[in-house]
Amino acid sequence: MPNWVRLKSSNFPDRYVRHADYLGRLDAYPFDPYQDQLWRMVPGLADSAGVSFQSVNFPDRYLRHYDYAVRLDANDNTAAFRADATFYRVAGLADSAWSSFRSYNFPDRYLRHADFALRIDPLSSSSSATDRQDATFRVTG
pTM above 0.85, yes or no: yes
Confidence of residue 141 (pLDDT cuts 50, 70, 90): confident
Residues in the chain: 141
Nearest to 53, CA basis, from 79, 72, 77, 29: 72
Which residue ranges make up each domain of the chain? 6-140
Please enumerate in sequence order all residues whose Cβ is within 8 A of that of 93, keeping only pairs 6 or more positions apart, or say none.
100, 110, 123, 125, 127, 132, 133, 135, 136
Query: Rounded to the nearest 10 degrees, how much is the dihedral formed by the CA atoms of 50, 53, 54, 58?
Result: -160
Q: Are 127 and 114 in contact (CB under 8 A)?
A: no
Confidence of residue 104 (pLDDT cuts 50, 70, 90): very high
Looking at 3.40.50.2300, 2.80.10.50, 3.40.1190.20, 1.20.120.790, the CATH number of the domain 6-140 comes to 2.80.10.50
Q: Can you tell me the distance from the alpha carbon of 70 to that of 86, in angstroms, rounded to the nearest whole number?
A: 12
